[in-house]
Amino acid sequence: MTEKTIHKQLTNICAEAIIKAFNEYQAKFKVITQRAKMRFENQDWHGMKADSDERLDLYKKVVDQIVVEISRLLNNGINDKEIWMNIKGTYSGLCSKIDIWELAETFFNSVTRRIFATVGVDPQIEFVDTCTRTEIFQISALPYRTYTGNLSTQSLIEIILRDYEHQTAYENIQRDAELVSEKIDDHLKSSGYSPCIDRAEMLTSVHYRGKGAYLIGRIFSGSDFFPLVLALLNTPGGIVVDAVILSENEVSILFSFTRSYFHVDVKRPNELVSFLKSIMPRKRIAELYISIGYNKHGKSELYCDLLHYLSRSDKKFELAEGERGMVMEVFTMRDYGLVFKVIKDHFAYPKHTTRDAVMAKYDLVFKHDRAGRLVDAQEFEHLKFNRNRFSDTLLDSLKQNAAQSVIINDDNVIVKHAYLERRVTPLNIYLRNVDDAEALTAVVDYGNAIKDLAASNIFPGDLLLKNFGVTRHGRIVFYDYDELCLLSVCNFRVMPQSRSYDDELSAEPWFGVGENDVFPEELRKFIGLQGMLREIFLDHHGDLFDVRFWHQIQSRISGGETIDIFPYEQSKRLVHDRIG
């Protein structure tokens, strides 16, 4: 055999090994995802959480394994770029035969980026430009069922509900169909749609997350359409429709970047993403992939989207608005809704954390139920930008504070490690710029955010306004993770009574304070609100300053309860209509 033939054979073996690893990843992903139905039916919320953890760990595991295998196969040739260019060529041929090529391409990139620690992107050994190609995805097969509208709304909803079979029966399908149909008919009337439904299209796959199951579709009326989401819960009496969602904003909140990923079993995620994009046109393709658990591919889309933005605009990266962090250096571009967060080299007093500990906190958030209140962060390595895209102030600051995370040379800025997040408006800034009514709503939701986090077993650590942000839907979310911890490890204590006048005057606590001790009474000091806003906050959320609130939540969690947090307004819950 000639050397050329051996080379060719090796190339084929490697390309096939990588596609095989990808297929294995897909198969395992599917098995875990398919369990969601059974978890929902059995009300096995702990099982659902375990599945979610397993699925989040899967990608790295499979990539680790294939990298070891390829290293063995290529031996000394592992870093030979020419070999990899050939492997890419062969792999590309294999990809073109499968209908989830975009995911397979991302998988290949994960492998080569791991081996080469590529700075920027290298089109010779990586697939690039995914986003321009996935933007034009068409829905070719039918991931949805169509229902023609020559029925009453109630009958239509009843038929739809019956088409989704679960082992558990509906508690009362007619009752729920009637309640849902009233909401839909009201919506048709009040939103100026034609009064009748022409047809409904419902995704055949159910979206499962936490304790919820969501039937997702769209309703066509005249020349328009709007989303239809039926949120199901499995209650002791059977399955009920807990809410019906009919607006883009509300579906967008359901699919928010502050929530954990759905488990939804689909053959071709790209078709699902196209469908979802039709009802949430303002969401990035990247975010939609991420929301259904393809977060690695979502990252490819995000990066590609960013490069395209940079090529079309001449805006520069600047320091993010708001108070500077002691742990993170944060930058953004004014009209691009993402922030980059890099870990600083040193942390000023009183921070006594480490780079590893900070990264562990971001990882905790990645795996934890984000409860609609924690901003999702995608971790990136070795990003490369033109130096002239950075403002001078930002360059100075990065040089001074983040030399371990960012290398600046004559032409380029290489960001060795960063978290990319959706930009929100820091709450301290928001409150300064809005009218009283908006500020009031935000302040009440600030308390709700702390409570939702508590219900999901998270204590934010640093409750200052500057660490919370406001989304475009006006929801309050948290983004500062270095002091965040599990609520279950906190020791909530009542302040001991001072023994003497000297004790009271003492600058240092005169009693022993453990590392995990939290004094809820003291939290008042951190709620940086004054005047009416402070009063409103205390009115709605005074319980946060009472140790009993925290102990109660802790005992519910330690008792094994998965506390309900709904991804829609309480007022939307049909339970009110059922009682009324």
Ligand X SMILES: Nc1ncnc2c1ncn2[C@@H]1O[C@H](COP(=O)(O)OP(=O)(O)OP(=O)(O)O)[C@@H](O)[C@H]1O
The residue ranges that bind ligand X (CB under 6 A) are: 320, 322-323, 325-328, 330, 339, 375, 421, 423-424, 426, 462, 466-467, 469, 479-480, 482
Of Mg ion, ligand X, none, which one sits near residue 103, judging by CB under 5 to 8 A according to partner kind? none
Is 477 near Mg ion (CB under 5 A)? Answer: no
Rounded to an integer, what distance in angstroms lies between the CA atom of residue 572 and that of residue 580? 14
Query: Per the structure block, which two tokens stand in for 464?
Result: 């200052």
Residue whose CB is less far from Mg ion, 461 or 474: 461
Can you read off the two tokens belonging to residue 206? 């159910």
Which CB sits closer to Mg ion, 94 or 463? 463
Give the one residue of 480, 537, 550, 566 binding Mg ion; rule: CB under 5 A. Answer: 480
Choose between 268 and 422: whose C-beta lies nearer to Mg ion.
Answer: 422
407: left (phi over 0), alpha (psi -120 to 50) or beta: beta
Judged by beta carbon, residue 207 or residue 344, the one nearer Mg ion is 344
Q: Which does 70 bind (CB under 5 to 8 A by kind): Mg ion, ligand X, none?
A: none
Least CB distance from residue 534 to ligand X, whole Å? 21
Using DSSP's 3-state secondary structure scheme, residue 562 falls into coil
- Partner interacting with residue 482 (select from Mg ion, ligand X, none; CB below 5-8 Å by kind): ligand X
Nearest distance in Å: CB 478, Mg ion: 10
Task: Please choose, out of 35-43, 95-103, 472-480, 566-574, the segment that lies near Mg ion by the rule CB under 5 A.
Answer: 472-480
DSSP assignments along 336-364, one per residue? EEEEEEEE-SS--TT----HHHHHHHHHH
Q: Residue of minimal CB distance from Mg ion? A: 480
Helix (H), strand (E), coil (C) string for 81-130? HHHHHHHHHHHHHHHCCCCCHHHHHHHHHHHHHHHHCCCCCCCCCCCCCH
- Pick from 533, 532, 552, 555: nearest CA to 543: 552
State the binding partner of 157 from ligand X, Mg ion, none, CB within 5 to 8 A by kind: none
322 binds Mg ion (CB under 5 A): no
Which entry of 176, 265, 376, 452 is annotated as an active-site residue? 376
- CA 568 – CA 547 distance, rounded (Å): 28
Determine the length of the chain.
580
- Candidates 210, 325, 447, 469; binder of Mg ion (CB under 5 A) is 325
DSSP 530: -
The secondary structure of 257-282, three-state, reads CCCCCCECCCCCHHHHHHHHHHHCCC
CB of 298 to ligand X, least distance (A): 17
Q: Could you tell me the strand order of the sheet in which 476-478 lies?
A: 425-426, 468-470, 476-478
Query: Is the link from the previous residue into 350 a cis peptide, with omega within 30 of 0?
Result: yes
Minimum distance of ligand X from residue 337's CB (angstroms): 9
> Which of residues 74 and 328 has its CB atom nearest to ligand X in the complex?
328
- At closest approach, how far in Å is the CB of 362 from ligand X? 10
Residue 424 touches which member of Mg ion, ligand X, none, C-beta under 5-8 Å by kind: ligand X
- Smallest CA-to-CA distance from 287 within 317, 249, 261 is with 261
Q: What span, in angstroms and rounded, lies between the C-alpha atoms of 140 and 401?
A: 50
Minimum CB distance to ligand X, residue 35 (Å): 33
The pair of structure tokens assigned to 36 is 């969601």
Q: How far is the CB of 423 from ligand X (least distance, A)?
A: 4
Contact assessment for residue 220 and residue 197, using Cβ atoms and an 8 Å cutoff: yes
Q: How far is the CB of 376 from ligand X (least distance, A)?
A: 10
Nearer to ligand X, 157 or 377 (CB): 377
> CB of 293 within 8 A of CB of 33?
yes
**Residue 423 contact, options Mg ion, ligand X, none, Cβ 5-8 Å cut-off depending on partner type:** ligand X
Any contact of residue 467 with Mg ion (CB under 5 A)?
A: yes
Question: For residues 208 and 390, which CB has a smaller minimum distance to ligand X in the complex?
Answer: 390
Q: Which does 327 bind (CB under 5 to 8 A by kind): ligand X, Mg ion, none?
A: ligand X
Separation CA 106–CA 305 (nearest Å): 14
Q: Please, are residues 462 and 325 in contact by the beta-carbon 8 Å criterion?
A: no
Q: Which listed option, Mg ion, ligand X, none, makes contact with residue 426 (CB within 5 to 8 Å by class)?
A: ligand X
Pick the piece of the chain touching Mg ion (CB under 5 A) from 399-407, 465-473, 561-569, 571-579.
Answer: 465-473
376 in catalytic set: yes
Looking only at residues 505 through 544 of this chain, which bind Mg ion when binding is defined by CB under 5 A?
none
Residue whose CB is less far from ligand X, 330 or 518: 330
Q: Is 482 helix (H, G, I), strand (E, B) or coil?
A: coil
In the complex, minimum distance from the CB of residue 412 to ligand X, in angstroms, rounded to a whole number: 24
Helices and strands counted in the chain (H then E): 19, 19
The residue among 292 and 470 lying less far from Mg ion, judged by its C-beta, is: 470
Residue of 569, 40, 571 lying closest to 253 (CA atoms)? 569
Enzyme catalytic residues: 376
Residues at the site binding Mg ion, with contacts judged by CB under 5 A = 325, 467, 480
